[in-house]
Structure 1
């Protein structure tokens, strides 16, 4: 029996996943978590074989929780779930140690298959995500015929978090409070983001995010 921890801040989503998994005789929902700290606490108690983890979690976002999980339980497979387009978070999740990445628009059979696959110690990668990974593996000298990687892919995980919040119109103070950072630290991240993306201010950063579909 594959024991699954379902981590999503929306009760209706957790209920939907539980209903889907109820049709799989070899999978059981061993727990539910509505935020990152709760997810970490349940993993520490043991009895979990696979973690289903939403990207957009309160208090600590899914990628922060993923990093913490891989630090504490490196062999525990984590399958990331997201409503965002694959280009935004799929490759980042896999680089941080996720065993797979699945969009919430996937059908129930694909979700069950993904859980079984990662429980066996394998990776679950959709064709779309595989293509994104292949783009990043193209050697620099061979990119004349390949599309250039978007500038935002140069951002670190924390820089990308700050980038998305700035592009959404959040102030430095609001971002500092949400990410539990000092305002000076957020300002430093902002300066790096502007430099790496080649824009001059927050307005241009927001336009860049729209243009890139972020």
Structure 2
């Protein structure tokens, strides 16, 4: 039996995952967490899990930082990222940080089940569409692309802005202040030498980001 720890701050998402997993005889949800603090508490309590299914956009500590923290304390513990961001660069950063797998939240249920099983077995799994893009980027790395120099948090906020989220929405989703979101927004626009959210949307469409 694969014992799963689900980390996502949205109850409706956790319930949806549990309904999908209820159809599988070999996967059991052992515990749930809504932020990084709860994730680390479950791990530090000594409960045995086979896989952590982790959302990158939880409140507090960012997903990338949490991956690094977990791998520093529990190097062999498998982490599967389950993210609303289906962008190859974000997936690549997560894998480099130590995640064993990455799938998007709009993936088919069969992909979720396969990914959990693969990661629990000590293997890696990346959503096929993302894997193809990551392979292409490895052959022709977009080093000159302005978005390549963004931090993980800036890239995350970039994706949310392109998705139509306003500063207040992003602050709520990421559980950070409006001022912090505005600062990140200004920084990423400056780094990319753009001028507005409309420019960001146009850039994302032109470079086929967050599709």
2:102 is equivalent to residue 101 of structure 1: yes
Unaligned runs of 5+ in 2: none
Which residue number corresponds to residue 17 of structure 2? 17
**What displacement does 1:200 show?**
5.7
Structure-2 separation of matches of 1:159 and 1:63: 12
Normalised by the length of structure 2, the TM-score is 0.75
SS of the residue corresponding to residue 75 of structure 1 reads coil
- The corresponding residue for 2:49 is 48
Cα distance in 2 for residues equivalent to 1:45 and 1:100: 24
TM normalised by structure 1 equals 0.74
CA contact (8 A) 1:136 1:149 kept: no
Moved more, 120-129 or 148-157: 148-157
Q: For structure 1, which segment, 154-163 or 7-16, has the greater mean C-alpha deviation from structure 2 after superposition?
A: 154-163
Q: Name which one, 1 or 2, has greater alpha-carbon Rg.
A: 1
Secondary structure in 1 matching 2:126: coil
Identify which of structures 1 and 2 has the higher relative contact order when contacts are C-alpha pairs closer than 8 Å and 6+ apart: 2
Which residues of structure 1 form unaligned runs of 5+? 141-146
The number of residues matched between the two structures is 201
The whole-number CA distance in structure 2 between the counterparts of 1:187 and 1:18 is 37
- State the superposition RMSD in angstroms: 3.3
Specify whether residues 39 and 138 from structure 1 end up closer, same or farther in structure 2 by C-alpha distance, changes over 3 A only. same
- SS, match of residue 98 in structure 1: coil
Q: What CA distance in whole angstroms lies between the structure 1 residues aligned with 2:94 and 2:155?
A: 12
